[in-house]
Structure 1
Amino acid sequence: MSLLTNVMDHSLDDGYAEAAERRKAAGEGGLPKTLRAKLGLAVGLVLAALVVTVGAAQARVSAPVVAKEREELIDRIDQETEAADKLESRVDALRADVDARRQEALRDSGGDRSRLVGVLAGSVAVHGPGVRLVVDDAKDAGTGGNGDPRSASGFSDTGRVRDRDMQRVVNGLWESGAEAISINGQRLTALSAIRAAGDAILVDNKPLVPPYTVLAVGDGPSLSERFQNSADGLYLHALQENYGIRTALSTADDLRLPAAPSVIVRTAQPISGKGTS
């Protein structure tokens, strides 16, 4: 306890002061006494001052260079941004020109039925009555399962909506009388493809996430009844009963579907003067 008391009563400053006094008495502290030591100290101070001065001079000289490089970089960024804006404007103009030419091609090929051709081809936006079908994964999707009849394709999670499920849904709606269909705002055409990439569903190479909202324009009540009684509608009902996949089907008075982002018009014409063998 006496040691702790002594440490608390006497700070370390007293020990430092005593050590300084001893060095002073021995001639070890303070400024150098000899001429050689004084010259060494002076040379050291001069070198330190020289280093600081040279560093400050270099910083002053390099500052305008850095500022100039920064301005040049900013100007280059502005130029590249302006060039990118011009290219984007040109892309928009070319896209509008392509759309106009596509519409003209559809009118030439469709004649008086050009509007119908555009609707069926998905090249124009449409609106009207129809049905809204929402298909979503089961609540416990991702937990896996055993004895899955669909596991033959490599999928073990029975609660996930698969690409072939959406294929059957879309085909069933077409067969039931749908005039135009979209999935999550993605307009479908006769050339659309519904595929899988891992666990994601791709529509025309664009990934979609659940829930999948399918809009189908047509005679709402009749379309709904026909789809529910079709083989594909019964298939969707079986998925709901056996795997917990959630579905909701309702009719709507006015559905709005956008035009397909890209419609490739392909035509074939016979070669005159040549027969077939």
Structure 2
Amino acid sequence: MSNPGGTRAGGPGGPARRSVLPKVLSAAVFALAGVIFWTSYDTSHGTNIRSDATLQRTSDLIQSKSQQNADLDRQLAALHSQVDGLAHREGGQSTADQRRTQALEQAAGLTALTGPGLTVTLNDAPPNATARIPGVPEPQPDDLVVHQQDLQAVVNALWRGGAQGIKVMDQRLISTSAVRCVGNTLILQGRVYSPPYVITAVGDQNRLRSALDADPSIINYRQYVTAYGLGWKSVADQRTTLPGYTGTVGLHYAQPAS
């Protein structure tokens, strides 16, 4: 049989060398495993990184940071209000400029918005939910929770339905807002929320409802509502108020290195 490596069986790289190589590789594997185990131990400070206590501490930390972000948002809103008040008292803007500024703030979602609208609530199914329709397979865990795409579908449908403004939970959405889920929690503008998820839009109620009813993703979600008991509720509001967005509006983007 020919040797693909171009060397003879008895020469360098032949049987004598191959008998030593497995021993060297085994030693290297055991050494690497020891490094990995020690790194894991050192990272977790000798604790079980999968323990309930560790997960609870992580959850507590997330909730604490979320509350801190909410407090900072309120402080920022108060500072914005003070700055606006000082600008008006100083007379730095003409009446026409003030009107333009107010119109831009309204369009950007920075001021409160009041009018008729629609409120949609999505919720997880009960953890012990079973199929409610004969012939439908029993649900998998993913079938019983609200997913990121479900929330995004509702928000996008409301925009298409002519919403003048939208809030998710207690926060106003602006053009740079991102609705993201991690596990079974919603992360929105630095704050964490658990279901039920409440989405409120101001606009023509008939157009908003028609947009929801026509959206394929929402039609699919509502099939799971019927089959497994996921939560869905839409309520018309004759008069509702959305808060103004209070976070930062600065855009952060990558820049080439000098």
TM-score interval for Structure 1 and Structure 2 normalised by the shorter chain: 0.5 to 0.7
Are 1:119 and 1:180, in contact at CA under 8 Å, matched by a contact in 2? no
The residue identity in structure 1 corresponding to 2:195 is P
| Aligned match of 1:129 | 116
- d(CA) in 2 for partners of 1:234, 1:113: 41
Once the two structures are TM-superposed, the CA of residue 198 in structure 1 deviates from its matched residue by: 3.0
| Aligned match of 2:4 | none
1:182-230 Cα shifts (integer Å, max 9, x gaps):
1111111111111123321111121112111111000012211222122
| Aligned match of 1:218 | 203
* Structure having the larger proportion of residues in helix: 1
| Aligned match of 2:173 | 188
| Aligned match of 1:169 | 154
Unaligned runs of 5+ in 1: 1-89, 149-155, 267-277
- d(CA) in 2 for partners of 1:102, 1:141: 57
The residue identity in structure 2 corresponding to 1:172 is A
- d(CA) in 2 for partners of 1:101, 1:263: 19
Instruction: Give the % identical residues.
Output: 27
| Aligned match of 1:138 | 125
Unaligned runs of 5+ in 2: 1-74, 131-136, 252-258
Once the two structures are TM-superposed, the CA of residue 172 in structure 1 deviates from its matched residue by: 1.2
- d(CA) in 1 for partners of 2:100, 2:186: 34
Are 1:141 and 1:159, in contact at CA under 8 Å, matched by a contact in 2? no
Secondary structure, counterpart of 1:134 in structure 2: strand
Q: 2:185 aligns with which of 200, 216, 238?
A: 200
Secondary structure, counterpart of 2:151 in structure 1: helix
- d(CA) in 2 for partners of 1:161, 1:193: 16
| Aligned match of 2:241 | 256
The residue identity in structure 1 corresponding to 2:116 is P
Deviates more, 1:127-136 or 1:221-230: 221-230
> How many residues are aligned here?
168
Once the two structures are TM-superposed, the CA of residue 136 in structure 1 deviates from its matched residue by: 1.0
Secondary structure, counterpart of 2:142 in structure 1: coil
Runs of 4+ in structure 1 deviating by more than 6 angstroms, as ranges, are 90-93, 100-104
- d(CA) in 1 for partners of 2:78, 2:154: 37
- d(CA) in 1 for partners of 2:179, 2:150: 10
Structure of higher CA gyration radius: 1
Are 2:114 and 2:240, in contact at CA under 8 Å, matched by a contact in 1? yes
The residue identity in structure 2 corresponding to 1:195 is R
Deviates more, 1:211-220 or 1:236-245: 236-245
CA RMSD, aligned part only? Answer: 3.7
> CA 1:239–1:203 in 2, change beyond 3 Å: closer, same or farther?
farther
- d(CA) in 2 for partners of 1:229, 1:247: 15
Secondary structure, counterpart of 2:225 in structure 1: helix
Scaled by the length of structure 1, the TM-score of the pair is: 0.51
Secondary structure, counterpart of 1:171 in structure 2: helix
- d(CA) in 2 for partners of 1:94, 1:252: 31
> CA 1:237–1:102 in 2, change beyond 3 Å: closer, same or farther?
farther
Are 1:122 and 1:263, in contact at CA under 8 Å, matched by a contact in 2? no
Q: Which has the higher contact order (CA 8 A, sep 6+)?
A: 2
Are 2:76 and 2:247, in contact at CA under 8 Å, matched by a contact in 1? no
